[in-house]
Chains A and B, each alone.
Chain A
Amino acid sequence: MRYVDEFRQRELAQQLAAAIRKEADPQRQYNLMEFCGGHTHAIFRYGVQDLMPSNVHFVHGPGCPVCVLPVGRIDNAIQLVEQHDVILCTYGDMLRVPASGRKSLLKIKAGGADIRMVYSTQDALRIARDNPDRQVVFFAIGFETTTPPTAVAIKQARTEALDNFSVFSNHVLTPAAIQNILESPEVREMGSVSIDGFFGPSHVSSIIGSRPYEFFAEEFQRPVVIAGFEPLDVMQSALMLIRQLNEGRHEVENEYTRVVTREGNTKAQSLVAEVFELRRTFEWRGLGLVPYSALQIKKAFAGLDAEQRFHVPAISASDVKGCECPSILRGVKRPTDCKLFGTVCTPENPMGSCMVSSEGACAAYWSYGRFRQPEKSDTREDAA
């Protein structure tokens, strides 16, 4: 049965590819940004780009939470451990991200710091319960899907009066980042990267619903298709975007009707609204300061906010010299444009965040060997 399914998938992929070739107008270019690292991964893993005609390009966006966190916030986390002797709980992806001074969470852990990798905020709560004499900080990162679990943990800690637990919030928002990319000078003025349409991330959208995208589809006149993470989902969504562009439409469509509704998961939204509020501004790697693009813990829960408890300072740290992560995250450059790529920067020894996370564009380029062959999309700059 499995082989029948695989055959069927291949056949479907070929049919979709044929439909895209037929409908894509050879007179125009289609630059489609997949915002989410999950899509980047699917596109590379399955060679979806190779099935596209030469005028349909995937532009990789800043949708990997590990990649967009600026160095200064990782420095902050390291300071929490080194200066305040906290137990720092973090998702595994953050461990290897390079911080200032050639440090990383993994390196200071090897040096004896108490850093625990957790799979869930529930694990972090458990560590706090088991270590009542120690301060336990959960290093919270992620987009909309990862925020509600943090909100649950904060509420639970309040209920249990778990006084030694706090959260260092780095939660960020998808629509704000997409808006920033469309408004950035590179996109508006220099024209070096023109983005014609967006793939919306399905998991994020299952929480926030499709409604938040409606504003900017209208405002910036770009179509958005919310796409699942399987290769066929991505191809189907590409076809939907191409159709919208051909017909001059800019609507929010939902390829992922299986789980995404217009309203999203209202329980999760109300949890987040109860615990978090918008930050006036937040620094993103690659995008700089983006207004109202991140969440901070509300005053009512300030006692559980690690930034308040430990007076976390704002640190502006620079990326490794020569690292092109900022431009890659904006979709202006490709990993192969970076001098460090594949030379000093590899998944085993990453210099920049895009090489650390398996959802980062550089890691995907490296892992699936896309850089070893000349790309069809090399003509993009000339054509744009």
Chain B
Amino acid sequence: MCLGIPMKVLQIDGFNARCEAKGVEREVSLFMLQDEEVKPGDYVMIHVGYAIQKMTPQEARSAWEIFDQMLAADGPPDTTL
């Protein structure tokens, strides 16, 4: 539950954003980043359906490499974003 998952912002509609990671798309809330400028193409850290911070593409990539290793070793993950 506590994991933050990096996702890429595809589309923004008000406080809602369509985000993507590993081919999976989800609606996430940008409510907590309303003081920051978020645009399509940015990477954000998602925690229980909410973007809590912006990330650089490098940070997102390195986090996903770790998750990939865990997924390969552990089988299906806890999917609670």
Question: Which residues of A are interface residues toward B (Cβ below 8 A)?
Answer: 2, 5-6, 36-38, 45, 64-66, 91-93, 119-123, 142-143, 145-146, 148-149, 152, 201, 203, 206-207, 229-231, 258-259, 265-268, 271, 357-359, 367
Contacts and interface: CB of A to CB of B under 8 A. Distances in A.
A225 B16 CA distance: 34
A260 B53 CA distance: 10
Contacts, number: 104
B78 to A, nearest CB: 6
A122 B51 CA distance: 13
Contacts of A120: 28-29, 48-50, 81
A93 B80 contact: yes
Nearest to A357: B1
B12 to A, nearest CB: 15
In terms of DSSP, what is the predominant structure of the interface of chain A? helix
B37 interface: no
Contact of B78 (A65, A92, A145): A92
A365 B53 CA distance: 31
- Chain B, interface SS category: mixed
B53 A152 contact: no
Contact of B50 (A93, A149, A359): A149
Given A2-B65, A123-B49, A265-B53, A145 B29 contact: no
Contact of B47 (A45, A66, A152, A203): A203
Contacts of B81: 119-120
30 contacts: A2-B65, A5-B62, A38-B2, A64-B2, A66-B1, A91-B48, A93-B78, A120-B28, A120-B50, A122-B27, A143-B2, A145-B4, A145-B48, A146-B2, A146-B47, A148-B52, A149-B47, A152-B50, A203-B45, A230-B62, A230-B63, A259-B55, A265-B32, A266-B35, A267-B32, A267-B34, A268-B32, A358-B78, A359-B1, A359-B2
A203 B6 CA distance: 12
A124 to B, nearest CB: 10
Contacts of B3: 38, 229
Interface string B26-58: 111101111100000000010111101101000
B54 to A, nearest CB: 8
B64 to A, nearest CB: 11
B80 A207 contact: no
Given A265-B52, A267-B32, A259 B2 contact: no
A365 B24 CA distance: 31
A259 B56 CA distance: 10
A211 to B, nearest CB: 17
B52 A152 contact: no
B21 interface: no
A149 B31 CA distance: 9
Nearest to A206: B53
A217 to B, nearest CB: 23
A2 B64 CA distance: 12
A265 B32 CA distance: 8
A268 to B, nearest CB: 5
Q: Looking at B1, B27, B80, which has the most chain A CB atoms within 10 Å of its CB?
A: B1
Interface string B62-80: 1101100010011000111
A218 B59 CA distance: 32
A37 B3 CA distance: 10
Contacts of B63: 230
